Structure 1
C-alpha cells in the first residue's frame, strides 16, 4: 500500500511539473496587457485583430524551458579559437560552393542589384541554417511567447517581436501564426529573419505575390541582400584586415564594433594594416575600429571597417561577423580554383 501511495504521489508531481512546463501563455499576467496594447495598434485595427483573438492565440502558446536554456548559453560566449571551427568546416565550405554554383545567375544578378557580394549572401545562409537544412524546430509562437514573458533580461525586445509576429499575417505573408516554425529565438526561414526583419527587409523577389523564406531561393537571397544594403553595406569596401601591432602600441578597448576612429588614429596608436584589404589602401580618414580576438595561436588584432559593422547587425557578436567574413573568403577561394 505504501509503495502504491508513493507511486501515485510521484505520478501527480510529474503531471503537475509537465503542466507547469507547458502552461498557456495567457496564464502569465503580462499576456492580457500585451493583448490589450497590441489590439490598439493601427495595423491591428486595420486587420481586425481583436484583443480576444490575440488572447485566443496566446492561449495556444506553450512555455518551453529548453528555449530559456538555449538562449542562456549562446555559442558566442566561446573564445574565437573555439568558435571558428564550428563554422569554418570543409563541409560548410564545399556546400557553399555547391550552393553558389547551383544559383550563380541569381546570385550574380543580386550582387549587381544590391552591391552585396554573392559570397556574403551565400555565407549568411550557410552560417544560419547550413543552406536551408536546419531552419529551426520550435514553433515561433512558443519561442517568442516564452522569451517575451519569461525572460526578463530581453523581454521588451521579444515582446516587440511577438507583436510583429501577429501583425505579419496577410496576403504577402500568408502563414498561420500558430504554424510557423523557427529557431529558439523566433527566427525564421533559410536566412533566419526575426518578424521585424521580415516586415522591414524581406523581399518578394520572384514576384509571386508572397514572401517565401522557406521555398523560394530568390526571395531568400534577395531578402538577405536587402538587409545588408539597408544597414549600410558599402559596395566594394573592405571588411576587416589583420593588424600589425607595434610593441609599444596604445592599449584601447572600443565599446562597440561601430567604426569611430579615423584609420590614421589607429596607425598613430600603433596599429597598421597588415595586408592589402582587397584593393587600394583606404583613405586615412576612413572610419575604423579595433577588434581583439583570442585565436588558436594567440591574440589577434583586426582593423575592422563599416562592412564588418554591417555584418554585426545580423548578429551582434564579433565572432559571428568574423566567421561570416572568413567563410565567405574560403568559399571565394574554392570557386576560383580550376574545375577538376
Structure 2
C-alpha cells in the first residue's frame, strides 16, 4: 500500500510540475509579447515598399510570397549593433577565424580545386589563396551560408533607421534577383545582414560582380564553386586589386610616431569605408622608410613604387601594419580592419 500511495503521490507531483511549467511558459510568452508589441508604423512602411516593388515590375506572386507576410526580426537589429569585427580585439578575432582547421582545410580545398582556381586567377589577376581565404572566412568553404530569409533580414534592416537607405536598395536588388529567376525565394537564405551564397554577396554585389564561370547559363554563387571563385575574383579585381602586389605587412614604428601622427592623418579615401579613418594617408614606401618605419623584424622596407598606409587596429598599444592597395580591395568586401587582416593572414598561411 505504501508503494501504491507513493506512486499516486508521484503522479500528482508530475502533474502539478507540468502544470506549473505550462503556467510559467504562458506568463513568459505573455511578457515577451508585451515587451515586443507590434509596431504600428511597420505596416504603412511595408505597403509603401510593396508599391515601389510593383513600380519596378516585381511579379505579384513574388510580392505575395516574400513581402506581404513579412515581419521584422529583432535579433537582426541587435546583430547589426554588435558586429564582431568592431567589438573584438584583433587577437580575439584572429583566434576564432584563422584556426588550424581553417588553414588545413583551405590547403585541401586549394588542391581539390587547383585547375579551376588557376584558370580564375589567370583571368582576373587575383591569387588563388586570397580567393580561397575569403571563401573560408565567409562560409567555412561553403559549409555554412546562413539560414536566414534574405528578404526578411533586409526588410528588417531597411525599416531600421540606422542605415535604411542602403538596405532598402539591397532589398530591392534582392527582389530583382528573384524576378530574374536566379533563385527561388524559399532558397534565398543567407546571413542576418542579407549576404548570400558561398561568396556571401549582398544583392547589389551579385548584380554587379557575380559571374557564370562554368557557362551553364546561371550566375550560381550557391552551389557552383567555379562561379563562386570567379565571382570573388571579379569583385576584387573590379574593386582595385593590383596583380603582383602584396596586401601589406606588419611593421614597427619609430619611438616618436604617435607624437608626429598628425602629419600622417587620413587623406581622401578611394572608396567609402569608415575604417579608413584609422589609416594614415597613403605615402610612398620610401617616405615611410625615411620616417623610421621598418618591417616587423627591423629590416628596411622594400623598395617598391606603390603607396602604403599604416593602420593600428587596436590603437596605439596594439600591432601596426603597413597596408597596400590590395588591402583596400579586401576592405571593400567587408569594411572592417579585423576582417581584412584575417583574410590576409589566412591567405598567407596556405
Provide the secondary structure at the position in 1 that maps to 2:318: strand
2:307 aligned residue:
287
- For the pair 1:33 / 2:41, whether they are aligned, the reply is no
2:66 aligned to which of 54, 57, 78: 57
1:181 aligned residue:
189
The answer to whether the 8 Å contact 1:204/1:210 transfers is yes
If you compute each CA radius of gyration, which structure gives the higher value, 1 or 2? 2
- For the pair 1:111 / 2:121, whether they are aligned, the reply is yes
The answer to whether the 8 Å contact 1:24/1:58 transfers is no
- CA deviation string 1:21-41 (max 9, x = no partner): 69699943322222333433x
Cα offset for 1:105? Answer: 0.5
- For the pair 1:140 / 2:162, whether they are aligned, the reply is no
- With structure 1 as the length reference, what TM-score do the two structures score? 0.82
The range that moved more, 263-272 or 195-204, is: 263-272
2:29 aligned to which of 14, 19, 24: 14
Provide the secondary structure at the position in 1 that maps to 2:91: helix
The answer to whether the 8 Å contact 1:201/1:223 transfers is yes
In structure 2, relative to structure 1, the CA distance for the partners of 1:290 and 1:35 (3 Å cut) is same
- CA deviation string 1:39-82 (max 9, x = no partner): 33xxx24xx546x9647631222321221222221111211121
1:334 aligned residue:
none
- CA deviation string 1:197-219 (max 9, x = no partner): 00000011111111211211111
1:270 aligned residue:
292
What does 1:191-230 align with in structure 2 at a 5 Å threshold? 191-230=199-238
Cα offset for 1:152? Answer: 1.4
Partner Cα distance (2:292, 2:302) in 1: 21
Structure 2 unaligned blocks of 5 or more: 1-18, 267-276
1:123 aligned residue:
133
Partner Cα distance (1:166, 1:97) in 2: 37
Provide the secondary structure at the position in 1 that maps to 2:223: coil
- CA deviation string 1:77-114 (max 9, x = no partner): 21112111011110000110111111000101111111
Structure 1 unaligned blocks of 5 or more: 332-340
Partner Cα distance (1:188, 1:25) in 2: 30
Provide the secondary structure at the position in 2 that maps to 1:85: helix
Cα offset for 1:256? Answer: 5.1
- CA deviation string 1:96-146 (max 9, x = no partner): 011111100010111111100100000001000101111102111111111
Question: How many residue pairs get matched?
Answer: 313
1:304 aligned residue:
323
Partner Cα distance (2:116, 2:256) in 1: 49
Cα offset for 1:274? Answer: 4.6
Partner Cα distance (1:53, 1:190) in 2: 24
The answer to whether the 8 Å contact 2:252/2:298 transfers is no
Partner Cα distance (1:299, 1:37) in 2: 48
The answer to whether the 8 Å contact 1:245/1:271 transfers is yes
Partner Cα distance (1:91, 1:30) in 2: 45
2:243 aligned residue:
235
Provide the secondary structure at the position in 2 that maps to 1:308: helix
The answer to whether the 8 Å contact 2:252/2:294 transfers is yes
Provide the secondary structure at the position in 2 that maps to 1:236: coil
What does 1:62-81 align with in structure 2 at a 5 Å threshold? 62-76=71-85, 77-81=87-91
In structure 2, relative to structure 1, the CA distance for the partners of 1:19 and 1:214 (3 Å cut) is farther
The answer to whether the 8 Å contact 2:149/2:188 transfers is yes
Provide the secondary structure at the position in 2 that maps to 1:293: coil
- CA deviation string 1:281-335 (max 9, x = no partner): 212xx3221111349xx6211111100000000010011111101001111xxxx
- For the pair 1:89 / 2:99, whether they are aligned, the reply is yes
Cα offset for 1:157? Answer: 1.1
- CA deviation string 1:147-198 (max 9, x = no partner): 111x211111111100101111255x43223541100001111110110000
2:346 aligned to which of 322, 327, 331: 327
Partner Cα distance (2:47, 2:200) in 1: 29
The answer to whether the 8 Å contact 1:24/1:61 transfers is no
In structure 2, relative to structure 1, the CA distance for the partners of 1:211 and 1:18 (3 Å cut) is farther
